[in-house]
């Protein structure tokens, strides 16, 4: 029997591109699809296998594209449909897969479906959204609250004077929730998947995937039990979505944003093998910087997820403060090694490969409702001394301020520096690609010294990471050749004994094992 080929989404690495902030091709200060196509060299040189694009569909931009008003067209800010086709084609020509962001839980309040639904209680599309009579005195129908809490908790219900009923919105009032209990909604949303699958997209990141199953009785959330998400029906719905993808050739993939901070609740989404292919792990993303914490989380997921499950590790995205700001610049290099050597599919957020930090946004430039502008600051491609204040991102005025550090951290500057964060990422990705033990190999956590997280991959490679800001002994058993270090002063090529090796502050190493001593 021929050996089963490993699907790309298990062996590959995915870079998330936030199109508004990646590259602007027309000088309006906002990144766009031709901008992404024009910068595919960066992805290829970095060595990633796939790109996930945050939404670029038609949208009033109340939530910067996560409020979709037409799933099957490109917003003029980002280009036109032909630009999406051209991007897919150009990426494929380079062997890069393309994943689009699919937002099934809600639409924009300007979507034709919602306009019809809100027009009257008798409209045939009334039940496409969740409408209820308000409680006494116009009170919300239940205690569910909306996810954006920067400015305090708010009900997820808005009363619509026109028909005297309230509609549900798990996010902004401009993002009414679709009613997945209504079969016509399921059919219409599946059709939007097919629209892009037919155009050649390799898969989807599913926005708030756990939220498309809710208690149909709309029961109040209780301590320890939420009724507005992760309801058992979610699994049936994800299986049907998987069915749509499986109807296409070529390993189409679905990765869910399953924002559940409990790995026991997360595991069922990927364990059986007929729902999501992958689910982002937000327990991992939210960890404080500690060797024991990361080890315990990885070990717990390995234990909870079934043999068919495959982990998807990420430490950043467009909703969270940047890695280098949360953990610091030294740990950010260790975090890169961790992400790219664990068993599972790594997801990188654009700019983390440059070690970008959050950018301070002056109050008069704040645009996001939930405080997420700092991590969405545009990519500095060129030093401003060469490319002007737009740093190669734009020739116009950028929609968010660009890092004041652009001169030093610009991609083109880092590309020529053997000690830069970008060079470290390129080396990690190329080593990963050349080392099957780092992709398909088994994972085994090792006994190690204080502040060290050490693990073995496929019996061939040991990774040892120092989480402390000072030197620490690895204290694990094994000998071999040091392939890569996160420290600028590399000790690459040295023979090392992990029992006596001392790592520098914030140093991680990858060692090709010549001998593992039995404990
Ligand atoms: C997801 C997205 C976030 C968006 C929200 C509502 O969490 O990542 O950016 O605001 O869903 O669509």
* CATH value at residue 116: 3.90.400.10
Q: CA dist 463 to 104, 420, 426, 486, Å?
A: 39, 20, 17, 11
319 in contact with ligand 1, CB cutoff 6 A: yes
Instruction: Tell me how far apart the alpha carbons of residues 167 and 116 are, in angstroms, rounded to a whole number.
Output: 13
Could you tell me if 391 and 377 lie in one domain?
Answer: yes
Phi-psi region of 316 (alpha: psi -120 to 50; beta: other; left: phi over 0): beta
Phi, psi of 481 (to 5 degrees): -100, 130
Residues of the chain with pLDDT > 90, as a percent, come to 95
Query: Which pair of structure tokens corresponds to residue 487?
Result: 């420290």
Q: Do residues 419 and 49 touch, judged by C-beta distance below 8 A?
A: no
Instruction: Tell me how far apart the alpha carbons of residues 473 and 447 are, in angstroms, rounded to a whole number.
Output: 12
pLDDT in tens, 64-109: 999 999 999 999 999 999 999 999 999 999 999 999 999 999 999 9
- Bridge partner list, 484: 510
**Is residue 257 annotated as part of the catalytic site, yes or no?**
yes
Nearest CA to ligand 1 atom 12: 66
- Determine the residue of 20, 146, 150, 171 to mutate for testing ligand 1's pocket, defined as the one with the most ligand atoms within 8 A of the Cβ atom: 171
Which pLDDT score is estimated for 509?
A: 98
Could you tell me if 192 and 213 lie in one domain?
Answer: yes
Residue 335 binned pLDDT confidence (cut-offs 50, 70, 90):
very high
Q: What is the CATH number of the domain that holds 510?
A: 2.60.40.1180
Q: Is residue 175 part of a domain?
A: no
Return the number of other C-beta atoms located less than 10 Å from residue 454's C-beta. Answer: 27
Q: Is residue 456 within a helix (H) or strand (E), and if so which, with residue range? A: strand 452-457
How far does the centroid of ligand 1 lie from the alpha carbon of residue 475, in Å?
42
Could you tell me if 125 and 91 lie in one domain?
Answer: no
pTM for the full model? 0.97
pLDDT in tens, 282-323: 999 999 999 999 999 999 999 999 888 999 999 999 999 999
Which pLDDT score is estimated for 308?
A: 82
**DSSP letter at 481?**
E
Could you tell me if 195 and 331 lie in one domain?
Answer: yes
Instruction: Tell me how far apart the alpha carbons of residues 411 and 382 are, in angstroms, rounded to a whole number.
Output: 6
Q: Is residue 435 part of a domain?
A: no
Q: Is residue 345 within a helix (H) or strand (E), and if so which, with residue range? A: strand 345-349
Q: What is the mean pLDDT of the chain?
A: 96
Residue 518 binned pLDDT confidence (cut-offs 50, 70, 90):
low
Q: Computed from CA positions of residues 395, 400, 401, 406, in that sequence, does the dihedral angle turn out positive or negative?
A: negative
How far does the centroid of ligand 1 lie from the alpha carbon of residue 353, in Å?
22
Q: Is residue 102 part of a domain?
A: yes
How far does the centroid of ligand 1 lie from the alpha carbon of residue 304, in Å?
27
Query: Which pair of structure tokens corresponds to residue 257?
Result: 């944003």
Could you tell me if 24 and 40 lie in one domain?
Answer: yes
Residue keyed to tokens 């029961």:
219
Given the residues 24, 207, 228, 368, the one annotated as active site: 207
Which pLDDT score is estimated for 4?
A: 61
Q: Is residue 436 part of a domain?
A: no
What is the domain range of residue 484?
443-515
Q: Is residue 78 part of a domain?
A: yes
How far does the centroid of ligand 1 lie from the alpha carbon of residue 117, in Å?
23
103 in contact with ligand 1, CB cutoff 6 A: yes
Burial profile 372-405: b = 16 or more Cβ within 10 angstroms, e = fewer: bbbbbbbbbbbbbeebeebbbbbeeebbbbbbee
Instruction: Tell me how far apart the alpha carbons of residues 314 and 53 are, in angstroms, rounded to a whole number.
Output: 15
Strands (DSSP E) contained in 169-209 are 203-206
Instruction: Tell me how far apart the alpha carbons of residues 163 and 419 are, in angstroms, rounded to a whole number.
Output: 63
Nearest CA to ligand 1 atom 5: 66
Which pLDDT score is estimated for 2?
A: 42
Could you tell me if 420 and 494 lie in one domain?
Answer: no
Q: Is residue 437 part of a domain?
A: no
Could you tell me if 207 and 345 lie in one domain?
Answer: yes
**Is residue 28 annotated as part of the catalytic site, yes or no?**
no
pLDDT in tens, 244-284: 999 999 999 999 999 999 999 999 999 999 999 999 999 99
Report how far Cα 142 is from the mean position of its chain's Cα atoms.
31
Report how far Cα 480 is from the mean position of its chain's Cα atoms.
34
Residue keyed to tokens 């496929």:
458
Q: Which atom of ligand 1 is nearest to the CA of 318?
A: 9
148 in contact with ligand 1, CB cutoff 6 A: no
> Which is nearest to 205 in space by CA: 296, 288, 312?
312
Report how far Cα 111 is from the mean position of its chain's Cα atoms.
25
Return the number of other C-beta atoms located less than 10 Å from residue 287's C-beta. Answer: 17
How far does the centroid of ligand 1 lie from the alpha carbon of residue 318, in Å?
9
Which pLDDT score is estimated for 164?
A: 97
102 in contact with ligand 1, CB cutoff 6 A: no
Could you tell me if 274 and 356 lie in one domain?
Answer: yes
61 in contact with ligand 1, CB cutoff 6 A: no
368 in contact with ligand 1, CB cutoff 6 A: no
Nearest CA to ligand 1 atom 4: 66
Instruction: Tell me how far apart the alpha carbons of residues 268 and 464 are, in angstroms, rounded to a whole number.
Output: 30
Q: List all residues 6 or more positions away from 435 whose beta carbon is below 8 Å from its beta carbon.
A: 460, 461
Q: What is the largest CA-CA distance in the chain?
A: 76
Given the residues 109, 257, 373, 479, the one annotated as active site: 257
Q: Is residue 75 part of a domain?
A: yes
How far does the centroid of ligand 1 lie from the alpha carbon of residue 207, in Å?
6
Could you tell me if 414 and 463 lie in one domain?
Answer: no
- Bridge partner list, 225: 222
Could you tell me if 212 and 300 lie in one domain?
Answer: yes
Length of the chain counted residue by residue: 519
127 in contact with ligand 1, CB cutoff 6 A: no
Q: Which atom of ligand 1 is nearest to the CA of 372?
A: 9
63 in contact with ligand 1, CB cutoff 6 A: yes
Q: Do residues 41 and 90 touch, judged by C-beta distance below 8 A?
A: no
Could you tell me if 351 and 494 lie in one domain?
Answer: no
Q: What is the 3-state secondary structure (H, E, C) of 461-499?
A: EEEEEECCCCCEECCCCCEEEEEEECCCCCCCCCEEECC
pLDDT in tens, 364-393: 999 999 999 999 999 999 999 999 999 999
Q: What is the CATH number of the domain that holds 305?
A: 3.20.20.80
Q: Do residues 319 and 372 touch, judged by C-beta distance below 8 A?
A: yes
How far does the centroid of ligand 1 lie from the alpha carbon of residue 56, in Å?
13
Could you tell me if 334 and 371 lie in one domain?
Answer: yes
Q: What is the mean pLDDT of residues 476-501?
A: 92
Q: Is residue 180 part of a domain?
A: no
Domain count, the chain: 3
Q: Which atom of ligand 1 is nearest to the CA of 67?
A: 12
């Amino acid at each position: 029997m021929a050996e089963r080929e490993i699907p790309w989404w298990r062996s590959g690495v995915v870079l998330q591109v936030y199109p508004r902030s990646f590259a602007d091709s027309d000088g309006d200060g906002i990144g766009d699809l031709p901008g992404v196509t024009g910068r595919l060299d960066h992805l290829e040189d970095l060595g990633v296998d796939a790109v996930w694009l945050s939404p670029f569909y038609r949208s009033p931009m109340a939530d910067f594209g996560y409020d979709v008003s037409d799933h099957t067209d490109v917003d003029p800010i980002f280009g036109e449909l032909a630009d999406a086709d051209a991007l897919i084609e150009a990426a494929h020509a380079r062997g890069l897969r393309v994943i689009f962001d699919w937002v099934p839980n809600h639409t924009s309040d300007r979507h034709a479906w919602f306009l019809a639904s809100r027009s009257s209680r008798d409209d045939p599309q009334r039940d496409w959204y969740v409408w209820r009579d308000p409680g006494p005195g116009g009170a919300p129908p239940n205690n569910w609250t909306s996810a954006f809490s920067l400015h305090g908790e708010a009900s997820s219900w808005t009363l619509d004077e026109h028909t005297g009923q309230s509609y549900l919105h798990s996010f902004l009032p401009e993002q009414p929730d679709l009613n997945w209990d209504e079969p016509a909604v399921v059919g219409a949303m599946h059709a939007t998947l097919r629209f892009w699958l037919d155009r050649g997209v390799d898969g989807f990141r599913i926005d708030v995937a756990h939220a498309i199953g809710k208690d149909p009785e709309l029961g109040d959330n209780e301590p320890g039990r939420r009724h507005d998400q992760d309801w058992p029906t979610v699994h049936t719905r994800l299986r049907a979505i998987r069915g749509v993808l499986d109807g296409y050739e070529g390993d189409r993939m679905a990765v869910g944003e399953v924002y559940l901070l409990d790995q026991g609740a997360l595991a069922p989404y990927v364990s059986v093998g007929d729902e999501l292919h992958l689910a982002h792990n937000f327990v991992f993303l939210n960890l404080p910087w500690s060797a024991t914490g990361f080890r315990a989380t990885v070990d717990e997921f390995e234990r909870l997820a079934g043999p068919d499950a495959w982990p998807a590790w990420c430490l950043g995205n467009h909703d969270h403060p940047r890695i280098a700001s949360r953990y610091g610049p030294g740990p950010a290099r260790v975090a890169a090694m961790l992400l790219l050597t664990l068993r599972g599919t790594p997801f990188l957020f654009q700019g983390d490969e440059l070690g970008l930090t959050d950018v301070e946004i002056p109050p008069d430039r704040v645009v996001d409702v939930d405080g997420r502008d700092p991590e969405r600051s545009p990519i500095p491609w060129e030093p401003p001394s060469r490319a002007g204040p737009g740093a190669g991102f734009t020739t116009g005025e950028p929609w968010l301020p660009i890092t004041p550090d652009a001169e030093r951290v610009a991609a083109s500057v880092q590309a020529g520096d053997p000690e830069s964060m970008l060079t470290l990422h390129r080396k990690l990705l190329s080593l990963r690609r050349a080392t099957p033990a780092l992709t398909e190999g088994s994972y085994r956590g090792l006994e190690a010294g204080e502040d060290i997280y050490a693990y073995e991959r496929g019996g061939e490679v040991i990774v040892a990471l120092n989480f402390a800001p000072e030197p620490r002994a690895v204290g694990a058993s094994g000998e071999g050749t040091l392939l890569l270090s996160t420290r600028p002063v590399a000790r690459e090529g040295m023979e090392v004994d992990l029992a006596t090796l001392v790592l520098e502050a914030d140093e991680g190493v990858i060692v090709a094992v010549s001998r593992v001593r039995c404990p």
